[in-house]
């Protein structure tokens, strides 16, 4: 029997201030790319905890989620390795604080920057995935879902042990 296929579960923070959106510029196997502050869900954490943690790690800013923007499935093949990658992304809109003094960005993150929607659209060739632009467009369209839509069972934090 073959191993069960599992997409990578990721979270992304969509933060807008004054008509500009927070991005990170990061090293990837495909070169230097732009992305929303984003990353993988870790064991023992909720989706909300993950997006707060990832934003802190990648942008050195506190993120407060206010709504679920959407759930996205994407797939691509890495040009260099031929690896077939599928991500299930939970994107959240919310607010960010000022950069935290003394807080370093994750390894691989070059810098944070703010772009207008037009700048984001013009830089699409540099996006880590098409979901960067898709999340922008969904945010601009007013898509918002209540955070109460998400539930995290207590077993995530303390798995039940069966005898």
Whole-angstrom distance, CA of residue 108 vs CA of residue 25: 9
The verdict on residue 38 lying in a domain is yes
Boundaries of domain holding 141: 8-146
CATH code at 49?
A: 3.90.79.10
The verdict on residue 163 lying in a domain is no
Tokens of 101: 């003094």
The stretch 107-113 carries a mean pLDDT of 96
DSSP 77: E
- Identify the residue whose tokens are 């042990």: 161
Q: Which of 156, 59, 163 is nearest to 103 (CA)?
A: 59
Per-residue model confidence as pLDDT tens digits over 24-66 = 999 998 899 999 999 999 999 999 999 999 999 999 999 999 9
128 and 35 in contact (C-beta within 8 Å)? Answer: yes
Residue 15 pairs in a beta bridge with 94
Buried/exposed code over 73-102 (b: 16+ C-beta within 10 A; e: otherwise): eeeeeeeeeeeeeebebbbbbbebeeeeee
Q: Which of 86, 128, 82, 132 is nearest to 108 (CA)?
A: 128
The verdict on residue 135 lying in a domain is yes
pTM exceeding the 0.95 threshold for the entire prediction:
no
The verdict on residue 162 lying in a domain is no
* Number of domains the chain contains: 1
Per-residue model confidence as pLDDT tens digits over 112-163 = 999 999 999 999 999 999 999 999 999 999 999 999 999 999 999 987 777 6
The verdict on residue 155 lying in a domain is no
What do you get for the CA distance between the two ends of the chain, in Å?
Answer: 26
């Amino acid at each position: 029997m073959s191993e069960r296929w599992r997409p990578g579960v990721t979270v992304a923070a969509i933060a807008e201030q004054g008509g500009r959106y927070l991005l990170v510029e990061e090293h990837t196997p495909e070169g230097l790319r732009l992305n929303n502050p984003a990353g993988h869900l870790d064991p023992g954490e909720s989706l909300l905890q993950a997006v707060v943690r990832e934003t802190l790690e990648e942008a050195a800013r506190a993120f407060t989620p206010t709504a679920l923007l959407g759930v996205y499935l994407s797939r691509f093949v890495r040009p260099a390795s031929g690896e077939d990658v599928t991500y299930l992304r939970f994107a959240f809109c919310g607010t960010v604080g000022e950069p935290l003094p003394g807080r370093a960005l994750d390894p691989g993150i070059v810098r944070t920057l703010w772009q207008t929607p037009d700048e984001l659209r013009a830089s699409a060739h540099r996006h880590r995935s098409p979901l960067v632009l898709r999340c922008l467009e969904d945010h601009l369209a007013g898509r918002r879902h209540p955070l109460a839509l998400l539930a995290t069972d207590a077993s995530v934090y303390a798995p039940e042990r069966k005898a």
